[in-house]
Structures are given as C-alpha cells and as structure tokens.
Structure 1
Amino acid sequence: EVLADCLRVLGPDHPDTLTTRGNVARWRGKAGDPVGAVAAFEEVLADCLRVLGPDHPSTLIIRGNFAHWRGEVGDPVGAVAAFEEVLTDRLRVLGPDQPDTLAIRGNLAYWRGEVGDPAGAVTAFELLLTDMLRVLGADHPDTLTTRGRLADQRGEAGDPAGAVTAFELLLTDMLRVLGADHPQTLTARGNLAYWRGEAGDPVGAAAAYEELLADRLQVLGPDHPDTLSTRGHLARWRGEAGDPMGAVAAFEEVLADCLRVLGPDHPDTLITCGHHADWLGLAGDAAGAAATYKQLLTDVLRVLGAEHPRTAAARHNLVYWRIRSFGSPPS
C-alpha cells in the first residue's frame, strides 16, 4: 500500500520509493517466498545502481539483502561471492568499523558455514567478535548475536559440547542485558536446547524445549513462527529421547498449524512436512514416509525448484523410505 502511494506521490526513482521496494522484497522473503524476494531485490538493485550509484548506502544495503536471499533460495555459493563483493565495497566506502560493515562480515561468515566450511566460519566469527567487542562493546545486541552465531558454528564444526558451553555463557549475559522475554534470549535458549541434544542429551533437550515452548506461548502466542518452530524441535527431541510415536503425533499437530498459519508453500511448512515423514518412517511406517515424501517432493519442486538443496534431500529421502518399505536395507 505505501509503495503504491510512494510511486504516485514521489515517483519511481525517489530514494524513499526504492527503499520501500526493498522492504517489500524483504518481507516477501520473510513471509515464505524467497524466490519472489530474490526477483524483487534483483529488480530494485538494478534501479538503485542506475539512480543512486554503486556506492550509495541504500544500494549497498540492497546488495546485502540480495546476497542473503540468494542463499535462501539454495545458492549459498552465490551468496558467499555476493557478500565478498559487497564487503569489499563497504570497507572502501564506509570503513571497517561501521556497524553495517560488521553485519556484512557476519553474514559472509554464516554463508561460508552453509557452503560446508564451518571451521572457516568459526575463524571468521572469532575475528568479527573481537572487532565487535572493540567497536560496539560486550553488551551490544549485535555483539550478543555474533556470539550466538559463533557458538552455532562451533557445534556445526563438530564441537557440540563447546556450543553448549558457549550458549550457557551467552544466555547468562542475555538475561542480564536483554531480559528473559526478549526474542534474542528466547532464541538463545532454543539453540542451547538444540546443542544439548546434539551433544548426547536428548532428554535434557526435550525438557528445555518444553520450558521454552511455555514461554514462547506466553510471550509470542501460539501462531508465531518461532512458537511453531519450537514445537517442531520439541517433537523431534521427544522422538530422539525414545518416543517416536509421540514425535509423529506432535509433528502432525504442528504441521496442521503450519498449514493454517503459514500456508502450504512456506519453507517452514515444507521442512515440518519432511520431519513428519521421517518420524513416520522411524516409528515403523516406511510406506507412509515414502508416500509423504512423494507429495513433498512435488511441492518442493514447485516452490523451490529442482536445484535447491532441499529438493535433493527430498529425493534422497523418498528413495530411502521406498527401499525401507520393501524391507531391504538402504545402501
């Protein structure tokens, strides 16, 4: 609505109109349409380059957002390359200590982890954290966020126990600085629960997610995406703790709510459907798992395309559960 009025009042080339187009693109992605977000950012970037030039702060912001959503649609290598380019220009135009430059470094580190280099991501986040502590201070929200992303990459690099320790320390500081109900604090609690499970304590992970779910329901409400995500994590760790049938039932419930709240094409809905299929198989219904993955593959192909990593994963899992449904050991 505001974009329509910006176009009418200010015209298509006004900086505020371009900024509004970027915001529309960003929220398209957040609403579950990463493909639409990429297309929209590509269009607004072309106009920003034409109207504002490559070094304008708004152009640099759009370039960073475009890079992020390229990764989200299944091109993490392209995201890394794009973030490397925009970081070079940010360093030249804005300097190394500008907060947006630091943020770009964090995004670059994250996508390096996503392309299969968690050790490199750990190193990049360690260097970034040193600069954030110097520039922003220990209690700045961006510094706290960076500590969390570093802890995650430590876990991804094969040190789940180290991730648990890092998140425990981080959570203490978040409670002091941000408070118990802040979204970042709740996110840190979820990450701590996850890495507890990955470190070999599925019962502890399930208990932690159960406590977190109660607080998310109170703070965010039952239909918030983070609440739905927490329910999915709780279902998974209940299964890992020895209750696969309970996991199936819980995933059925959260999937129904994801379909109602987010819609069938939202990435979180597709992910939840895959988890539901896996636990059907793990609970002894390999044929049901295969049937669910057959439908999911159709949806993933339509929404994300043939080249997306989640499409490849759905294909693999469909074959896996088909083989299991015939009673043969998977290769």
Structure 2
Amino acid sequence: MYERALAGREKALGPDHMHTLTTVNNLGGLYINLGWLQEAERMYEWALAGREKALGPDHMHTLTTVNNLGLLYSNLGRLQEAERMYQRVLAGREKALGPDHIHTLTTINDLGGLYRNLGQLQEAERMYERALAGYEKALGPDHMDTLTTVNNLEGLYRNLGWLQEAERMYEWALASREKALGSNHI
C-alpha cells in the first residue's frame, strides 16, 4: 500500500512534496520491519534530503528522519554514524523543545543505549540517569517510559557489577509494572 501511495504521490505531487516525503519516510520504517535495511536506508536518505531542502535541518520532521537513520545505523552496526545522527537530533530537539521534553528524553535514552553498545559505560550511565530524571519529573515514577529507562539502568548496572544498584532498579520496575499491569501480565 505504501509503494502504491508513493507512486501516486510522486506522480501527482512530485518527489519532493511533503506528502510524498512522509510516505517515503514511512516506507523506510516498513522496510526496517521487513529486514530490508538497504532499502530502508535509501528511503530515509531520500526523505532526509527532501525535508532538509524544504523545511531546513532543524525542523521536527527533518529530525524525525535523522532519528530514524540513527536507529537504522545502530541496527546495521554503524555505531559512529548512529551517534552522529542521535547527537544531531538531540541538539535540535533541545533547542526547539527544551531539555525536558519527552522527545528530547527519548533521544537521550537512545543515546544511552548506543553508548552502552559502544562500551562507553560512564556516558551511557550519564544519559540513562538524565533521561530517568526527566521522565520521572514529566511522567512520574510509574510511567512505562520511565520504567523502560529504569530497566535500561538495571541492565547497565548489572553489566558493571553494581548488583545492589541493579537490584534497586529491578525492584522499582517490577513493583511499578505489577501495580500497572497486574502480577500475571506477560
């Protein structure tokens, strides 16, 4: 359906129209889900070039595509390129939305995971703790986004051998999830 929509939009509106570029970006996401990573990269690069030209490098739609490229590069093991993308998104979101906006915090959390994969564990901890503080303030200690970051910190602490800190994070996440979802939730 996306490919059909893309062909129609490209023909009717042109390859650089915002509706066409939105379809291109969405098609990139579908290709990732299908495991077609080269095709996804091609779509995201097309969407990024068009959005940068039409909207500028710091527009939220442009940064969404930059973030998508960061996720793709991370999946491809191109971690330095992923870091460059995430840093760009973080700078843009901090400037436009502020340091405590949910979208900014999500990028900070994603950077934490990237730094963990790069073996930069102190930087990962700094990102996760920053995201956690922001999520707690904005969403509360029991929100699923907060708990995802708690879980990320638990894994990092476990990897570092900081078992008491890991246990504290695990117990927090478990208690909150049982409260929200019930003890029998899968």
Asked if these proteins are the same fold (TM beyond 0.5), I'd say yes
Matched positions, count: 186
Q: Is the 8 A contact 1:281 1:289 kept in 2?
A: yes
Question: Is 1:159–2:36 an aligned residue pair?
Answer: yes
Whole-Å separation in 2 of the counterparts to 1:196 and 1:170? 16
Query: What's the CA shift for 1:199?
Result: 0.7
Query: What's the CA shift for 1:286?
Result: 5.1
- Structure 1 equivalent of residue 152 of structure 2: 275
Gap runs ≥5 in structure 2: none
- Structure 1 equivalent of residue 170 of structure 2: 293
Question: Once the two structures are superposed, what CA deviation does each residue of 1:48-101 show, in whole Å capped at 9, x if it has no partner?
Answer: xxxxxxxxxxxxxxxxxxxxxxxxxxxxxxxxxxxxxxxxxxxxxxxxxxxxxx
Write the letter of the residue equivalent to 1:276: L
- Structure 2 equivalent of residue 128 of structure 1: 5
- Structure 2 equivalent of residue 173 of structure 1: 50
Query: What's the CA shift for 1:192?
Result: 0.6
Write the letter of the residue equivalent to 2:37: P
1:223 to 100, 103, 109: 100
Question: Once the two structures are superposed, what CA deviation does each residue of 1:108-144 show, in whole Å capped at 9, x if it has no partner?
Answer: xxxxxxxxxxxxxxxx432332344355554443432
Q: Is the 8 A contact 2:24 2:46 kept in 1?
A: no
Q: Call closer, same or farther: CA 1:275–1:185 in 2, change over 3 Å.
A: same
1:188 to 29, 50, 65: 65
Q: Call closer, same or farther: CA 1:145–1:266 in 2, change over 3 Å.
A: farther
3-state SS, counterpart of residue 252 of structure 1: helix
Whole-Å separation in 2 of the counterparts to 1:190 and 1:135? 28
Greater Cα radius of gyration, structure 1 or 2: 1
Whole-Å separation in 1 of the counterparts to 2:80 and 2:181? 34
Whole-Å separation in 1 of the counterparts to 2:58 and 2:88? 13
Q: Is the 8 A contact 1:193 1:208 kept in 2?
A: yes
Whole-Å separation in 2 of the counterparts to 1:305 and 1:145? 38
Query: What's the CA shift for 1:151?
Result: 0.7
Question: Is 1:146–2:23 an aligned residue pair?
Answer: yes
Query: What's the CA shift for 1:301?
Result: 3.0
Question: Once the two structures are superposed, what CA deviation does each residue of 1:6-55 show, in whole Å capped at 9, x if it has no partner?
Answer: xxxxxxxxxxxxxxxxxxxxxxxxxxxxxxxxxxxxxxxxxxxxxxxxxx
3-state SS, counterpart of residue 133 of structure 1: helix
Whole-Å separation in 2 of the counterparts to 1:227 and 1:267? 16
Q: Is the 8 A contact 2:14 2:20 kept in 1?
A: yes
Percent identity between matched residues is: 32
Q: Is the 8 A contact 1:216 1:227 kept in 2?
A: yes
Gap runs ≥5 in structure 1: 1-123, 313-331
Deviates more, 1:224-233 or 1:296-305: 296-305
Whole-Å separation in 2 of the counterparts to 1:287 and 1:234? 24
TM-score normalized with structure 1 length: 0.51
Q: Is the 8 A contact 1:245 1:283 kept in 2?
A: no
Q: Is the 8 A contact 1:244 1:282 kept in 2?
A: no
| Structure with bigger RCO (C-alpha 8 Å, 6+ apart) | 2
Question: Once the two structures are superposed, what CA deviation does each residue of 1:277-299 show, in whole Å capped at 9, x if it has no partner?
Answer: 22222333356434422321221
Query: What's the CA shift for 1:245?
Result: 3.2
Whole-Å separation in 2 of the counterparts to 1:306 and 1:128? 44
Whole-Å separation in 2 of the counterparts to 1:159 and 1:237? 21
TM-score normalized with structure 2 length: 0.85
Deviates more, 1:225-234 or 1:174-183: 174-183
Whole-Å separation in 1 of the counterparts to 2:55 and 2:183? 42
Whole-Å separation in 1 of the counterparts to 2:87 and 2:103? 14
Q: Call closer, same or farther: CA 1:133–1:300 in 2, change over 3 Å.
A: farther
